[in-house]
Structure formats: C-alpha cells, structure tokens
Structure 1
Amino acid sequence: METKRTTRKLSTTVIVKAALLAAASIVLTRFFSYMIPLGGLPALRIGFGTVPLIIAGMMLGPLAGGIVGVVSDLTGFLINPMGSMFHPGFTVTAALYGVLSGVLFKKIKIQNMKVNFNYINAVMMVIFATLIAWIVFRGEGLDFGNSQTILMLVLMALVTALFIVLPFVISTKFKNKSSQIAFDKIAFAVSITYVINALFLNTLWLSMLLDKGFILLLPGRIVASVVTIPAYSWIIYSLSKVIKYTN
C-alpha cells in the first residue's frame, strides 16, 4: 500500500514538474525571444526557451524530457506561431533537447564521473566542426579557392577554438561547492545538445522550410552559438545551486 502511494506521489510530482517546465519553455520561446533575420529571412531565434527542456531531461529523464519538448513545441506553435510555418522537424529537435540531456545525466550519469569533461568537450567540438564542414562543403560543391569558402572555414575554426577554450576558463572561474553538478559537465551537455539540435538539425529544417541552402543559413547561427552556449551553461549551472536536477 505504501509503495502504491509513493509511486502515485512520484508520478504526480513528475507530471507537475513537466508541466511547469513545458510552460516555462513556451513563455520564454513564444513571448520572450527575438527573431533575427538572416539574409532577409526569419532564420535565427534568440531566447532561452531551450533551457527548461534541457533541465527537464536532467530532472525527469530522457522520456519525460522528450515529452516536455514535444508538448512545449506543439502547444507553443498553436499559441503563437511567430509568423512561421509548422515543420515537424522542429518538434523532433525540441524533444531531443530533453532526451539527450536525460540520457547524459539520468542514464550515463556523467555528473558522478571523476573526469574533466572540458577535454571531452574539446574533442567532440573538433569532430562536430569537421563533420559539419565536410557535409556542407561536399554537399554544396564549394570551391576552396573562393574567398567565401575560406571565410567560412576560418569562422568555423575560430568558433570551434572558442568552444574549446571558454569551458576551461569559465570552469576555473565558477568553482563553487554549493553547486551539485560541476560546470564542465553542464557545459559538455549543453554543447553537445546545441550543436546537434540548433546548428545541424534546425539549420537543416530551416533550409528545407525556406528553400535556401544550408550554408547560407549556417554562418549567422554559428556566430550566435558563441554567446548562446556559454549563456545556457551558466544559467543551468547557477540554477543547480537551488534546484535538484539529479538524484
């Protein structure tokens, strides 16, 4: 009898937390974000609506985190489409924010590993940058003697270098024992989820939706990520001092 009551209580708690996080994501995304046009097209949304989705995965696990992402995207679009057409790919991306963070913190439990994830983050960023560059330049058939192509390569190299250096610098500055999760673990999770979802998948969905080349949309989104990834990481890290993300 006690087990049933405990299970019911836990289920209710999960539902309440999921609903609150979904609501927070909807409000932050649909009412407190700013759409920046790239090449005259609404291709870059600046805001913090993704943060509750990552937190949902950390707190509730990959399944619940994925559901929070789906609910927040579908409900948010119905409330305020922000002048854009619906594309199921963005719903998949929203779900993946919760799923990936849930896998890392609830299944793999990287927060318990005595490993400096800044080094792992550095290796992963180099791999992702190389992969994206290969896909883009091979798919677009770009000429490496072209100045635009060279500029893109330099930009990606600089951003990758920043992604590698910033976590080390911030981790050193924000060492706080009151935080339940070290900054390097959070920065790693945010970087992985953001690169896969925002830089790769969402850029792909936008190129399909707007009928524009992947490479035309990518540079501005890469530049924005230099600010977005550290900001997301710092916010989640700061909240970890007062919110219990993981058991």
Structure 2
Amino acid sequence: MKKFAVCYQASFQELKHVKTLTTAAMLMAVSVVLGYFTIEAGPYLKIGFGGVVNQFVYYLFGPVAGAVYGGVLDLVKYVVKPTGAFFPGFTLNAMLGGVLYGTILYRKPLTFRRALWADLVVALICNIFLNTLWLSMMSGKAMMVLLPMRVLKNLIKWPVDAALFYLIAKRMESLGLVRMIRKFQAE
C-alpha cells in the first residue's frame, strides 16, 4: 500500500511542474489530431490511434497526472469533434484509464508483459464493462446486445495496442527521448 501512496504522491508532484503540463499539452494535441484518423466500424465500435500517445503520458507522468490528462483530453476531444451527445461517464472512463495505466506503468521498468497487463486491465474495466454500460444507458439497448462485439474488438485490439505502445516507447527510450523528457521535467 505504501508503494501506491508513493506512486500517487510522485504523480501529484508532476502536476506542479509547468514543463509537465506543457509536455502533456503537446502530446494531447497529437492525440487530438490522431483522433481524426479514427475508424468507425459501426455506431458503437470505434478504432482509434490516439491511445498510444495517451499511454505514453500515463507512463511518463503517472496516475494522478494521467487522470487529469484523461479528463481534460476527453473534454477537449468533445469540444473539437463531438461525436454524439456528451456523457460524463466517458470522461470518468478516460480519467479511470489514466489512473489504471499510470498505476501499472509509472516509474516501473517497461516490459512487454507490463504493457500487456496494463492494456488488459483497462480493456476489461473501462472498455468492456463501463463503456458498454454507458452505451447501453445512452442507447437504451441491453448491455448483452452490445457486449459480444465490444469483447471481440477489445480481445483483438488488446495485444496490438500493447505491442504498439511497447515498441514505440522502447524505441523512444533507445533514442534517449524518454530520458530527455524526464531530464527536461527535472530542470
């Protein structure tokens, strides 16, 4: 339990640095732009590419900063490109996703197993359970009608998303970009 407290405290401290906020804001802009390349495979099924950028923010800045980033990003994306009615449950999901990814990835050695675990936890809790619940509430369709396609989509995307994040983050580490961003934050 003490490790969680230290993790959350350190992540909270990240929010006090202007450099953290500017770095997160720049990555948020990249995520918004990548959101324009979302593939809509039906009214309740979207495949997007901004998640890798978001995971990188959670990896760099932790669960508290991740929750703030996720909530603000959800609101910004809605203002920039609304896709239906606003529903606060999706903002809550974005924040919870930031907390979960940040808790699993922040200040820990990045391994493919850890990336897989983080993606699985978020897929099960946020994407499959909560997002399906919110969609059910909004559309009036039974959860069990929406669930099979959402489970299939997340099972397919789970290893792909984890591999993409892992490969990109590892490449950025090998190029020294992660170290440079962290050094930039410390100055």
Q: Check conservation: 1:89, 1:205, Cα contact below 8 A.
A: yes
3-state SS of paired residue (2:44) = strand
Counterpart of 1:78 in structure 2 is 79
Shift of 1:199: 0.5
Q: Check conservation: 1:22, 1:69, Cα contact below 8 A.
A: no
Is residue 217 of structure 1 aligned with residue 150 of structure 2? Answer: no
Q: Structure 1: how far apart are the matches of 2:22 and 2:58?
A: 14
Counterpart of 1:174 in structure 2 is none
Q: Structure 1: how far apart are the matches of 2:97 and 2:143?
A: 21
Shift of 1:223: 1.1
Among 195, 208, 231, the alignment partner of 2:160 is 231
Q: Structure 2: how far apart are the matches of 1:214 and 1:24?
A: 33
Q: Structure 2: how far apart are the matches of 1:73 and 1:93?
A: 9
Q: Structure 1: how far apart are the matches of 2:88 and 2:121?
A: 21
Is residue 16 of structure 1 aligned with residue 22 of structure 2? Answer: yes
TM-score by length of 2: 0.79
Counterpart of 2:185 in structure 1 is none
**Residue identity in the other structure for 2:30:** A
TM-score by length of 1: 0.61
Counterpart of 1:54 in structure 2 is 55
* Larger relative helix fraction: 2
Any stretches of 5+ residues in structure 1 without a counterpart?
1-6, 112-180
- Among the aligned pairs, what percent are the same residue? 34
3-state SS of paired residue (2:135) = helix
**Residue identity in the other structure for 2:46:** R
Q: Check conservation: 2:105, 2:115, Cα contact below 8 A.
A: no
The alignment covers a number of residue pairs equal to 163
Where does 1:178-217 land on structure 2 (aligned, <5 Å)? 181-217=110-146
Structure with bigger gyration radius: 1
Counterpart of 1:87 in structure 2 is 87
